[in-house]
Amino acid sequence: MPKRNSSSSSTSSTSSEELLTLDPISEWRAWQALSIYFTVLLNRQLRRRWLLEHACMKDKPICQRFRPITFFELVPTLHKPRIPSPSDPNPTKNNPYNAEALAALKTSVRLLRGRVEKGKELASEIERL
């Protein structure tokens, strides 16, 4: 049996690491796409919960009913990231090269994901009742 070259295994691991690294604009767009995805999921869950609450209220007498109201999240749109320029008065907004702006986008996506996870639990509890 031929011996494996240890250098070939190290180059294959570095090539897989290179595949996982995105340039800042691609990473920005990926996080924006996740933001859109989780917002749409959240709005679906809000609508589903509203329908369940509305159906539960039909069985109660009129004096005990309440009208469930829901407010949907605005679905963000994909937009071209702002490339910084020296004359720009606000260089931090929508700038994929700014670590703070990217961190804020990541945080908002994580919060949306958490709300989606919690919404799944709430809807299943409402359905069980």
Does pTM top 0.85 for this prediction? no
| pLDDT band at residue 21 under the 50/70/90 scheme | confident
Cα–Cα distance for residue pair 66/45, rounded to 1 Å: 20
Contact 82, 111 (CB under 8 A): no
pLDDT digits (tens, 9 = 90+) for 74-92: 898 887 777 766 666 666 6
| Structure tokens that stand for 54 in this block | 């509305």
Task: Name which of 70, 74, 68, 79 is nearest 112 in CA terms.
Answer: 74
